[in-house]
Amino acid sequence: MPVSPHATRRPRIRPRGGSPVWLFDLDNTLHHASHAIFPAINEAMTRYIVDALSVERAEADQLRLRYGRRYGATLLGLTRHHPIDPHDFLRVVHTFPDLPAMVRAERGLARLVACLPGRKLILTNGPENYARAVLAELGIERLFERVIAIEHMRRRGAWHAKPDLPMLRRVLREARVPMQEAILVEDTRSHLKRYKRLGIRTVWIVGHLPALKRPDGTAARWPGSGRPHYVDRRIRSLKSLRPGHETGRPWSRFESRTRT
């Protein structure tokens, strides 16, 4: 996939309504988070855990990874098992003064998103301020009717994150998104797998996934090969979602189903 510095020009296209309803993940879906942002977030999380819990760096790293895998977001494990301030954590580990230099995305991203018919929402396990900062840097913030961030996934004081099922049902109900009209575009397979149970359509975007490494650091294999049964379409680039694009499973499959 061509990777270029972020867009600087914004197309004069307004958000569209109707169906389908695109639920876009943010990191490694709309931009190449693995380039600089994920390493910075991971480092900031580990440092925060070291300071907040007074643990060694190795243990902080383990907690970060374990909670991220188990709960979908490190924050959830921290709030469940430790007395931390979740809002302070989110703010500290997602604030980057040099964000513009860190953001990478596909060429023509704004036009690729803008040309998709239907409604578009962001569904991210990141915090809202971070999501909006990245979207603004990409020049696509106004193309989305709402950002559903991790703060919006809370219920009765408890934090939730993708791939929680009741959370998704609730936030889609609040956004008036019929499940049968939703298309989730994500890089994280476990989220797609869980949400496929709800009858949602799924697009697995693999173009930003980092190569899996051998212990010696060399690239072992491309992580986005094959198409699991819970993935309706596997794409490398958002170009493949353009109406009329004929590679892979055709767009018309989505379009025809949304119009019945």
Question: Smallest distance from the beta carbon of 232 to Mg ion, in angstroms?
Answer: 17
- Residue with smaller CB distance to Mg ion, 191 or 258: 191
Question: Smallest distance from the beta carbon of 244 to Mg ion, in angstroms?
Answer: 27
Site for Mg ion in 177-206 (CB under 5 A): 187
Question: Smallest distance from the beta carbon of 187 to Mg ion, in angstroms?
Answer: 4
Q: Is 164 in the site for Mg ion (CB under 5 A)?
A: no
- Residue with smaller CB distance to Mg ion, 34 or 62: 34
Size of the site for Mg ion (CB under 5 A): 4
Site for Mg ion in 9-28 (CB under 5 A): 25, 27-28
Cβ atoms of residues 137 and 103 within 8 Å: yes
Site for Mg ion in 28-57 (CB under 5 A): 28
Site for Mg ion in 205-224 (CB under 5 A): none
A 10 A CB-CB count for 77 gives 20
Closest CA to 209 of 199, 219, 194: 219
Measured between alpha carbons, how far is 150 from 125 in angstroms, rounded to an integer? 5
- What are the two backbone dihedrals, phi and then psi, of residue 179, each rounded to the nearest 5 degrees? -55, -35
Measured between alpha carbons, how far is 233 from 255 in angstroms, rounded to an integer? 13
Question: Smallest distance from the beta carbon of 25 to Mg ion, in angstroms?
Answer: 4
CA angle 122, 124, 130 (to 5 degrees): 95
Question: Smallest distance from the beta carbon of 29 to Mg ion, in angstroms?
Answer: 5
Q: Residue 193 is inside which H or E element, if any? A: helix 189-196
**Interface positions with Mg ion (CB under 5 A):** 25, 27-28, 187
